[in-house]
């Protein structure tokens, strides 16, 4: 057995499924236009290439599931409020600070020793509508909010590269990048540059891209969420190799913004905030083992014997080397035992030959052997 040293973890508190979560907030598209039936759409080739490595929910209800309302009437603002506070319809777009209700980050995180940072690109032109952290009393004055005119992708990647990245990281692109006021194709190109770099790939992300950051290196359990607000169903993608099922397309029809909030609460054993998130089904089916890209039964959540992390492969290789070594040792021992047996069998014959030879020599006869 090969000993595999444990790798340092970049987080403040361990979770059930992940230790860190990273959100990239996109806007205003139908699921099928971005992701087809869960296997990709030609409108978004980069997202299509990412789908085999994560889980997605074609029937995700951004406007609310099971009678719950998230943002069907208030649009963007209500979706974001639901996601971080379990409330909705409190403010319409363009609202000013501050909503008094407690949020996951301002109320639950501090008592659990969890940290967070939120970034809004290029001065955050949509302010609270697309960046709710500036719109709630318990988060609006936090020094962990970054929304100046100079905020860019590189600032966010730098946070993901820090020695101890926050447990929760959020990035809101401008409407010129998030598919709100630009095409799906240009939004897809933006995500490619953001996540892997223009010259990189999912398997080999370029330096300076998000997936090349420390937070996504082997040994860290980081959940990446590509999340779109509004529309029903809305696009979504959950990426966390080794923890989130790969090439998995959920058949659930009950998930919404409150479900995303609930899975974070469950992950860190935090109390729910409202009756909305308490009643929402947490998205536990996306977690677990499944086939890797190109494996049999993609999207079914089936098992894969040789899928796993580098540590798993080291254990497999170590086991094979151990088996080969054992077989070699057994072969050497068997040969040695056979040689000893032959020597024992030859010993009596030699003794008889010696005695007979001596007998005939004493009588002047010609020595012979048996």
Amino acid 193: pLDDT: 98
Residues in the chain: 370
* pLDDT value, residue 336: 62
How many Å is the maximal CA-CA distance in the chain? 129
Closest CA to 236 of 11, 43, 74, 59: 59
This model's pTM is above 0.85: no
Query: Which residues contact residue 134 at a Cβ distance below 8 angstroms, ignoring those fewer than 6 apart?
Result: 97, 124, 127, 128, 140, 145, 147
> Which residue, 278, 254, 259, is CA-closest to 67?
254
Query: Is the Cα dihedral 195, 199, 201, 205 positive or negative?
Result: negative
CB burial readout 332-345, b (16+ within 10 A) else e: eeeeeeeeeeeeee
* CATH assignment of 20-305, among 3.30.300, 3.40.720, 1.10.10, 3.30.70: 3.40.720
pLDDT for res 299: 33
- Kind and range of the H or E element at 24? strand 20-27
The residues of the chain scoring below 70 in pLDDT are 1-12, 290-370
pLDDT given at position 54: 97
- Per-residue pLDDT at 352: 42
**Encoding tokens for residue 3?**
């000993």
**CA–CA distance from 134 to each of 98, 114, 217, 349 (Å)?**
8, 19, 31, 100
User: Quick one: pLDDT at residue 92?
Assistant: 82
The predicted structure's pLDDT at residue 368: 41
Domain ranges within the chain, ordered by starting residue: 20-305, 309-370
Residue 288: which of 238, 240, 244 has the closest Cα? 244
Residue by residue, DSSP assigns 117-178 as: EEEEGGG-TTGGGT-GGGGBTTTTT-TTEE-STT--HHHHHHHHTSSS--SEEEEE--TTTS
- Determine phi and psi for 343, rounding to 5 degrees: -65, -40
Enter the tokens of residue 129: 């509508």
What pLDDT score does 301 carry?
A: 33
Task: Print burial letters for 246-278: b (CB count within 10 Å at least 16), e (below 16).
Answer: bbbbbebeebbbbbbbbbbbbbbebebbbebbe
Exposed, middle or buried, 203 (CB in 10 Å: 0-12/13-18/19+)?
Answer: exposed
Helix H, strand E, coil C: the string for 207-253 is: CCCHHHCHHHCCCCCEEEEEEEECCCCCCEEEECCCCECCCEECCCC
**Residue 191: which of 91, 89, 43, 3 has the closest Cα?**
43
Per-residue pLDDT of 59-91, as tens digits, reads: 999 999 988 888 877 789 999 999 999 998 778
pLDDT digits (tens, 9 = 90+) for 109-133: 999 999 999 999 999 999 999 999 9
Residue 20: strand, helix, or coil: strand
């Amino acid at each position: 057995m090969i000993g595999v040293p444990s790798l340092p973890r970049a987080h403040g508190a361990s979770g059930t499924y992940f230790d860190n979560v990273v959100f990239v907030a996109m806007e205003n598209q139908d699921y099928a236009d971005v992701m087809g039936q869960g296997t990709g759409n030609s409108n978004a080739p980069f997202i299509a290439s990412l789908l085999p490595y994560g889980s997605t929910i074609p029937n995700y209800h951004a406007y609310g599931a099971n009678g719950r309302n998230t943002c069907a009437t208030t649009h963007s603002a209500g979706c974001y409020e639901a996601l971080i506070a379990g409330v909705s319809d409190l403010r319409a777009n363009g609202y000013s600070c501050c909503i008094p209700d407690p949020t996951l980050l301002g109320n639950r995180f501090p008592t659990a020793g969890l940290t967070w940072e939120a970034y809004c690109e290029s001065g955050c032109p949509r302010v609270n509508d697309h960046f709710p952290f500036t719109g709630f009393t318990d988060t609006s004055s936090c020094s962990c909010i970054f929304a100046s005119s100079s905020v860019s992708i590189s600032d966010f990647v730098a946070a993901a590269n820090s020695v101890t990245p926050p447990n929760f990281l959020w990035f809101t692109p401008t409407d010129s990048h998030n598919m709100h006021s630009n095409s799906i194709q240009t939004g897809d190109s933006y995500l490619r540059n953001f996540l892997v770099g223009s010259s990189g790939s999912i398997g080999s992300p370029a330096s300076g891209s998000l997936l090349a950051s420390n937070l996504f290196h082997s040994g860290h359990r980081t959940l990446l969420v590509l999340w779109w607000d509004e529309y029903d169903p809305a696009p979504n993608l959950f990426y966390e190799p080794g923890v989130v099922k790969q090439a998995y397309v959920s058949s659930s029809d009950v998930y919404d913004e409150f479900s995303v909030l609930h899975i974070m609460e469950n992950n860190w054993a935090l109390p729910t905030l409202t009756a909305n998130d308490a009643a929402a089904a947490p998205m536990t089916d996306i977690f677990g083992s499944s086939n890797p890209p190109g494996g049999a039964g993609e999207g079914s959540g089936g098992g894969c014997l040789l899928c796993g992390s580098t540590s798993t492969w080291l254990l497999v290789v170590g086991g094979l080397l151990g088996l080969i070594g054992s077989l070699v040792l057994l072969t050497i021992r068997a040969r040695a035992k056979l040689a000893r047996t032959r020597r024992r069998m030859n010993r009596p014959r030699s003794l008889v030959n010696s005695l007979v030879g001596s007998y005939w020599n004493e009588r002047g006869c010609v020595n012979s052997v048996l």
